[in-house]
Amino acid sequence: MKSKLRISPLAWALLAVCPLLSAQQAPSGTEGLSPSHFDGQSWWKHVKFLADDKLEGRDTGSRGERKAQKYAIKQLKNAGAEPTGSNGFYQPVKFVSRQIVEKHCSLELIRDAKPQALTLGEDAIIGTRIMPAPEVEAPLVFVGYGLKVPEKNYDDFAGVDVRGKIIVIFSGSPAEIPGALASHYQTAAERWKVLRDAGALGIVSLINPASMDIPWSRIALNRAHPTMDLDYPEFNETEGAKLAVTVNPASAEKIFAGSGHTFEEIVALGKDRKPLPHFPLAASLAAKTEVIVNKIESANLVAQIPGSDPVLKNEYVVLSAHLDHIGIGQPINGDRIYNGAMDNGSGSALVLDMAASFKKNPEKLRRAFRRSILLVLVTGEEKGLLGSKYFAAHPTVPPQSIVADVNVDMFLPIVPLKLLTVLGLDDSDLGERVREVARSMGVKIQPDPEPLRNLFVRSDQYNFIRHGVPSVVMSVAPEPGSPEQQIFKDWLTQRYHAPSDDVDQPVDLAAAAKYEEIVRALLLNIANGEQRPEWNRDSFFRRYAEPAKIGQ
């Protein structure tokens, strides 16, 4: 799962983390499971390998990620999956990495010609997802949510002159914009299109304290960790951008001083997604930045299990998961390795386990599998969904032959599986198929209960969606109002993108096995259906399947 911000370990170092179960104790039993292609054990074995300290957190392009790739290829070969990359199982991907040299950087608010320094790390951080200009100084203007959503006739830039200025936004969206639309227009690519048209030079993001996944201290902790981008001109989405800054909510009043408005006022409106005012701020922002740029290489892995139908086998149902995680970072409780057991050792392990399950049941397979299954283990997800962006733009099978993407990212089998959250539930007939499969296994489903977290655009399925491929992503969810909710909340606060997302955490093996069973049944449903999946008529994302309609 990609964080909204540059990540960030746990600065709860001083908080006692509850006593952890050992890996042996952790999994609960798998009794009473049916039907059973999975026992949870083989899945857990893969997770344990991928999240071992020896793999050093599988950072994109790292030694640890290469080890994970070698392991995955071995498992795929054992399962009889066929290489479908551009170089065997590999599809090489080139990246550029950017690392901030903070000691040579500065941020100053300038009011009445008087500079007020912002402390980097404490007050604000300079982002490197865009390539910052070495020096920039420009007036600040507050533009509310900073969104332009033509479908809703919504425009935070109407009547506001932002040319040559740095805009300040409150992250989030107004209630009048539905979740999927809001998520779409908050992606970097969409935002910068609007900013470029409006002539803005940079962006200062104020975090909505009500929707912070992780505390500021953790956001700031790994800011020196390099960010990455695809190293191909076609993917340069932030051309013209000179500066991107994120401000600690605790320091945000400094930005508003002298403007006649306060951050407190904005927070009060923003927490209920009310309309926000627009106004010039009484300050300019001056930034000096230095960035070290490097070239990095990694790869996606692509394999297939061919279908049985002479015609339909040329169509592919994608099962995707990201194999990378965030690597080695600032220590928390003395641990520097961000193992990424759930994020996304869990999803990668599922892909390997799934391949093996098809081999174990070949007779059923021959009868049941008409379309081919394409197994895609992408790189660079944590760097901004980069591996999947590359794959979706340059698939190693014909683009039109991809009928669906079932993405698995951090599905969190940390409680018994009774309820699944399904992102994309109402967007395509995949939703109906999930409904059917889940019902047959006694599992309830719900749409995204927290649309403000933008989860639908925060993992790899989004790149398939942008290329017109109906997609769905499911995760284990707590039943509303149950004590399980706290378990998920604690997991996000304490383990998400922290070294404690490792194999010494409680995991429910029966839930993992049941989840795998659902994914398997869904894949078969799609692979065997007479029709390929289709977007629902009223889905926002349908437009990408009909390129002529984009921009209308």
| Binding footprint of Zn ion on the chain (CB under 5 A) | 1, 343
The structure tokens listed for 275 are 């309309």
- Let me know if 182 is exposed, middle or buried by CB neighbors in 10 A (0-12, 13-18, 19+): buried
The structure tokens listed for 148 are 């332009």
**Axis crossing angle, helix 41-50 with helix 346-360, rounded to the nearest 10:** 140
Q: Contact, 515 vs 362, CB < 8 A? A: no
Q: Output the smallest distance, CB 333 to Zn ion, in A.
A: 20
User: Over 364-385, what HEC string results?
Assistant: HHHHHCCCEEEEEEECCCCCCC
Nearer to Zn ion, 56 or 343 (CB): 343
Q: Determine if residue 113 is left, alpha or beta; phi over 0 gives left, psi from -120 to 50 gives alpha, anything else beta.
A: left
Task: Name the residue among 297, 376, 225 with its Cα closest to residue 66.
Answer: 297
d(C-alpha 228, C-alpha 130), whole Å: 9
Alpha-helical segments (H) within 271-394: 346-360, 362-368, 386-393
Nearer to Zn ion, 8 or 69 (CB): 8
Q: Helix, strand, coil: what percent of the chain each, to 5?
A: 35, 25, 40
β-pairing verdict for 90-100 and 291-305:
antiparallel
Q: Contact, 268 vs 344, CB < 8 A? A: no
Nearer to Zn ion, 3 or 259 (CB): 3
Number of Cβ atoms within 10 Å of the Cβ of 114: 9
Q: Output the smallest distance, CB 382 to Zn ion, in A.
A: 5
User: Over 61-93, what HEC string results?
Assistant: CCHHHHHHHHHHHHHHHHCCCEECCCECCEEEE
**What is the identity of the amino acid at 298?**
S
Nearer to Zn ion, 349 or 365 (CB): 349
Nearer to Zn ion, 460 or 516 (CB): 460
Nearer to Zn ion, 1 or 404 (CB): 1
Residue 454: half-sphere exposure toward Cβ, Cα within 13 Å: 24
Nearer to Zn ion, 1 or 385 (CB): 1
Nearer to Zn ion, 1 or 214 (CB): 1
Nearer to Zn ion, 357 or 454 (CB): 454
Q: Output the smallest distance, CB 2 to Zn ion, in A.
A: 6
Q: Output the smallest distance, CB 188 to Zn ion, in A.
A: 17
Q: Determine if residue 375 is left, alpha or beta; phi over 0 gives left, psi from -120 to 50 gives alpha, anything else beta.
A: beta
Q: What are phi and psi of 52, to 5 degrees?
A: -65, 150
d(C-alpha 40, C-alpha 24), whole Å: 13
Q: Output the smallest distance, CB 337 to Zn ion, in A.
A: 15
Nearer to Zn ion, 229 or 343 (CB): 343
The structure tokens listed for 25 are 């104790």
Nearer to Zn ion, 123 or 409 (CB): 409
- Residue of this chain nearest to Zn ion (CB atom): 1
Nearer to Zn ion, 357 or 459 (CB): 459
Q: Output the smallest distance, CB 381 to Zn ion, in A.
A: 7
Task: Name the residue among 135, 222, 150 with its Cα closest to residue 185.
Answer: 150
Nearer to Zn ion, 59 or 427 (CB): 59
Q: Output the smallest distance, CB 57 to Zn ion, in A.
A: 11
Q: Output the smallest distance, CB 280 to Zn ion, in A.
A: 37
Q: Output the smallest distance, CB 296 to Zn ion, in A.
A: 18
Q: Output the smallest distance, CB 119 to Zn ion, in A.
A: 27
Tokens 């690597």 found at: 327
CA distances from 438 to 62, 445, 461, 518 (A): 38, 7, 20, 7
Q: Output the smallest distance, CB 497 to Zn ion, in A.
A: 6
Task: Name the residue among 439, 475, 239 with its Cα closest to residue 343.
Answer: 475
Radius of gyration of the chain measured on its C-alpha atoms = 23
Q: Output the smallest distance, CB 458 to Zn ion, in A.
A: 9
Residue 519 CB contacts under 8 Å (≥ 6 apart), including other chains: 319, 350, 354, 406, 408, 474
Q: Output the smallest distance, CB 438 to Zn ion, in A.
A: 25
